A and B are shown apart, each in its own frame.
Chain A
């Protein structure tokens, strides 16, 4: 036995070394895209990231970041943390597999023979390496996200329960249980996924402790485990904080004590209760509790609870740091109420699971207090905020409400619930069965509504949520992946493959006809289903091993697989479409399947060796055994890594960090830049907070500007000294932007005035014409000036008392479709901004709200900021912001590079089509200031997010070149083109119409560079041809979806061929 143990230990560490090497040599050297820069900032500077937070991740990440050599190296250290934790996960996977294999081959007390040892080691190696080099796990292992840490916690608790299982000494075994509870508690501060391991753990406990396992017993144990998860997820986690909140209300509001007294008292009481509980249960001599649990079990449970709460206490970090109000301080979780909201991810909304509405359902309408029909609502929770006054007090801000739906309009297990996604649902489903239902509106009779049926519902669940958003990811890891483009259901993007043309072509069309940019995509990885087959063999072998507990083992692994896979699909109730692929959420279920893959090797060994033994009548030599097991055990993972290495190696990429730098470089001193999503905002935050660059620029995320805590944050100064970022001049009082207030505002609504209807604009204009004196007394000089319109018409502030009766009857709205700002012309001149030819600095800036019937709080705040700044501070918008966010403001944009400057000039559509460019600044930015993240490195992998950024940049280069040519600056234009070809080369980022390559070719021609132009045109022609060929080969039902694209490519091809022929 000792030999086996030593071998097992050594092999484990060998695998660990392999995994460490793999991940450490492929980590990203700085921050990665999506949430990573935010996590790095939260770890290195202890700032507060998005809900529900990861305080324990912050602490461990912080420790790692202190090993960094300088500020720029900190990101790499946090990435290294992910790499090492992932390697640790692999180590534990190896040991888990070898333990389970040994049990099945030799029984609990048997010692493996040499050939059995080899087989067991091979099984562990195979399963561990398959997982090491699989797509999803590797992706999370090389970046600073919580998923690597969470996977480690999952591996740890699973391995710990196996250690407990192995342990003969029951006293010592208890400690493993308590430690598992501790890890669970700590993992609340990483990611809640870890709780999903509980059913598997409970099953192991049940099988070990029971003398005879029965189906009924197993079901009871499982039911108990689900109740345990629910108790932790919906009981312990929210209620520990809620109780603190009630304590606070009692102490502060009722008893008049200062803030936080209630929290301290609560903590003391809680601790006292735990101590008492521990003391009471430590008495070993007693009867069974509830006639089932021994006193020792109860004491262990009490200790486990204590340690789980200890782990959970890491959230104190969130509260303490929120109180400090760092520059990134999401949700301001500084008191028990906002902490509760922070934990519950209230920002993201609720999804009905067992019973609820469909996307077409209409809420009940009842007659409201004012006699008018309104939607029926139900109060869910109350939100409280601290009121800053002489006396500390909590004030109820608003009640969270939800709509009420009638029983006819609801269904069981609704998977099609979101009214916002109606179009996407119907697009995915095609035709729906639909059923018509009556809808009563009091006072207006009965209408009809068409709701989806349960068949439609289930069809969506199976085809989209289960198949497309889970099994597809599963097959990526164990069969093969087509490419790393995000898939939306089409045949050419992001599907799973086997590698066998017969199967793949049947499912997804002739893969040979795919355009070369997709065929050559590094994300194309095929494993010929070998890992999948191994896994299935492993499952079968495990089940058939009845006498050694194989059945029980199967259920344990199956519970892990199901809970971290399909159960998540059930819980998430995803809507189409997601902004990115979500495979990282299911890494736990792929871990479970990797266990089966390892067992498959042992299964092969057992089967073949028993055949050979019976045939030849003598035992197979150790050599034959090793060949039999070691060869496939190593060959399968090696084949995998030969495919997956190239698209997971991020070691040369600096794109995210450099693009953060570029945004900042575009903005002059003390400027403001508005951003929208993750991939512009987070690199900006990272560069300012972690690398300390250009902290004078104020970054404002428009998504967050919708919330009260972020508006508060924007009003505060950040950083110090020369790099201080002055606050945004938002003039609003808190009462107007609390959560729930003015979330959306009507724009120029039509109002009924008794003797007819007219728009607010007409109404207000008429009053100003008929009685200007009174009008000005009520609403000031210009009612349509931005600040005035918001303060007087939306907030209704500062209106003289005697007119309140009149103004109270008017709706709160923007009273016009065009707002004005009186321009500070001197400030504009001082700023040195580009004044387009033939234009003068205008007296007023006209902001059109045409086409917008409502505006959001964030947009209104943005307008207020622009008005208050009045060009004394430069204001920019990132070019990655979508048009739905900035409305008609594009009419005032001047393009300077990766951001547009907001100017007081209004460009009409014909001017705008050429996109007004400040060529002097844009040249300086693109040619001198910007960095390009090593995109030109041959062989680097450009994933889709990076590619989108590259396309954006190439468009900037080509637009600049065109603009320079218009000014007659041929030499400069040529320099720009050549630089573009150098930094965004076609061998990494193929030429395409959408990236401005066509304009580049034309610009080259104008400069006299025929070769370069022809090269680009030929590539574009080739690309169009290939796409046309692909579309033409599609069957008609698939072709219909692509008809528009097909037509587009044909037009493009015709245009390009025209040009080529003309040369």
Chain B
């Protein structure tokens, strides 16, 4: 029996995809030497993107425990 089954890898991949999506959402034009770019504080980049990233990290964490059958029910 493997530690990581297909299900786990799929959830992990979803998590990674979410992280990459979040980072991409965070990307955009930046301020230059001559001009300030107000878009760097847009809702998409500082409110939506980090939440997506965080969701990705949580998903990756969950992928470790998904579908875990335990032989013993001894839990504290």
Contact = CB atoms under 8 A, between A and B. Distances in A.
Given A46-B46, A59-B53, A323 B30 contact: yes
Interface string B1-44: 11110000000000110010001001111111111111011000
Contacts of B51: 62-63, 66
Nearest to A306: B12
A719 B76 contact: no
A717 interface: yes
A63 B2 CA distance: 35
Contact of A320 (B1, B2, B23, B47): B23
Nearest to A319: B23
Nearest to B2: A282
Nearest to B55: A63
B23 A316 contact: yes
A685 to B, nearest CB: 14
Contact of B31 (A44, A59, A324): A324
A325 interface: yes
Interface string A41-55: 000111000000000
A310 B62 CA distance: 13
A717 B60 contact: no
Contacts of B16: 310
Which of B23, B45, B46, B65 gathers most chain A CB within 10 Å? B46
B50 A8 contact: no
A282 B31 contact: no
Interface string A299-315: 11001000100110110
Interface residues of B, number: 43
B3 A310 contact: no
B54 to A, nearest CB: 5
B63 to A, nearest CB: 9
A325 B71 contact: no
B75 A5 contact: yes
Interface string B60-73: 11001100111110
Nearest to A163: B76
B72 A169 contact: yes
A45 B36 CA distance: 15
Contacts of B60: 182, 307, 310
A310 B15 CA distance: 10
Interface residues of A, number: 56
Contacts of B64: 175, 178-179, 182, 307
Contacts of B37: 324-325
Contact of B74 (A168, A317, A325, A712): A168
A62 B51 CA distance: 8
B57 A325 contact: no
B50 A63 contact: yes
A231 interface: no
Contacts of B61: 179, 182
Contacts of B71: 168-169, 171-172
Given A718-B31, A719-B36, A60 B54 contact: yes
A171 B4 CA distance: 9
A317 B72 contact: no
Contacts of B34: 716-717
A1030 interface: no
A1011 interface: no
A712 B68 CA distance: 52
Contacts of B32: 325, 716
Given A320-B26, A717-B35, A45 B2 contact: no
Contact of B23 (A169, A171, A179, A317): A317
Contact of B76 (A45, A95, A314): A95
Contacts of B53: 59, 314, 317
A724 interface: yes
Contacts of A716: 31-34, 36
Interface string A708-720: 0000100111111
Contact of A58 (B33, B35, B50, B57): B50
Contacts of B31: 324-326, 716-718
Contacts of B68: 172, 175
Chain A interface, DSSP helix/strand/loop, else mixed:
helix
Contacts, number: 128
Given A8-B76, A314-B57, A718-B36, A59 B3 contact: no
Contact of A46 (B45, B69, B72): B45
A296 interface: yes
A99 interface: yes
A168 B75 CA distance: 10
A227 interface: no
Contacts of A175: 3, 64-65, 68
A701 B15 CA distance: 40
B12 to A, nearest CB: 8
Given A63-B54, A303-B3, A310-B16, A5 B30 contact: no
Given A45-B41, A321-B26, A178 B57 contact: no
A401 interface: no
Given A175-B68, A299-B3, A720-B38, A313 B19 contact: yes
Contact of B54 (A59, A178, A311, A316): A59
A186 interface: yes
A511 B5 CA distance: 66
B8 to A, nearest CB: 9
B71 to A, nearest CB: 4
Contacts of A382: none
Given A174-B3, A325-B31, A716-B32, A169 B19 contact: no
Contacts of A186: 57
A99 B37 CA distance: 54
Given A169-B71, A182-B60, A282-B4, A324 B28 contact: yes
Contacts of B29: 324
Nearest to B48: A66
Contacts of B23: 316-317, 320
Nearest to B1: A171
A586 B71 CA distance: 39
Contacts of B27: 320, 323
A620 interface: no
Nearest to B46: A46
Nearest to A168: B72
Interface in A164-185: 166-169, 171-172, 174-175, 178-179, 182
A241 B47 CA distance: 27
Contacts of B75: 5
A62 to B, nearest CB: 4
A854 interface: no
Interface of A: 1, 5, 8, 44-46, 56, 58-60, 62-63, 66, 95, 99, 163, 166-169, 171-172, 174-175, 178-179, 182, 186, 278, 282, 284, 296, 299-300, 303, 307, 310-311, 313-314, 316-317, 320-321, 323-326, 712, 715-720, 724
Given A716-B34, A720-B36, 16 more contacts: A46-B50, A95-B76, A99-B76, A163-B76, A168-B74, A169-B70, A174-B3, A182-B61, A284-B2, A299-B3, A310-B15, A323-B30, A717-B31, A718-B36, A719-B36, A719-B38
18 contacts: A1-B74, A5-B75, A5-B76, A8-B76, A56-B57, A62-B51, A63-B54, A166-B74, A167-B72, A169-B72, A278-B4, A299-B4, A307-B64, A310-B19, A317-B50, A326-B41, A716-B32, A717-B35
Interface of B: 1-4, 15-16, 19, 23, 26-38, 40-41, 45-47, 50-51, 53-54, 57, 60-61, 64-65, 68-72, 74-76
The 6 closest A-B pairs by CB, nearest first: A324-B30, A325-B31, A169-B71, A324-B40, A62-B50, A168-B72
